[in-house]
Amino acid sequence: MLEGGLTYDFAQIVMDCELIRMVRRIVRGITVDDESLAVDVIKQVGAAGEFMSHEHTFRHFRNEHSQSKIADRTIRANWLAKGSKEMVERAYEEARYILKNHQPDPLPSGVDSAIGRIMEEANEHYGIKQN
């Protein structure tokens, strides 16, 4: 069943999505220009200055690394103090949350009838009779 793709694990899908997000971030690469390097900010603040509260840092800090939902990147002591949940356990929790709470956007007008037509054509092509 697993090899035929007839069953799957929701936690595995969550972990796969996490990995895909990380790979996309890596593939995107690093932008190297005056804005991303904060050349003007370094001139303004100085090499030994404090950058964390600067507006430039606030605008850019979330774009330059992958934001993990299920990988715990804290130090081991903090991980242990929080219950030492492994990634798989957090992935199952996230999968259950998604299954319980996700509300998909409705299909645009006409899409459902277009899908119906495609299914009818496929059934006719392959000789499948509908009840």
Alpha helices (runs of H) in 61-104, residue ranges in sequence order: 76-81, 87-101
Please state the domain count of the chain.
1
The string of DSSP letters for 109-131 reads TTHHHHHHHHHHHHHHHTTPPP-
**pLDDT reported for residue 20:** 92
Between residues 103 and 51, the one the model is more confident about? 103
Query: Does residue 131 lie in a domain region?
Result: no
Query: Residue 17's domain spans which residues?
Result: 3-126
Residue 13 pLDDT level (bands cut at 50, 70, 90): very high
C-alpha–C-alpha distance, residues 50 and 78, integer Å: 26
pTM of the predicted protein model: 0.65
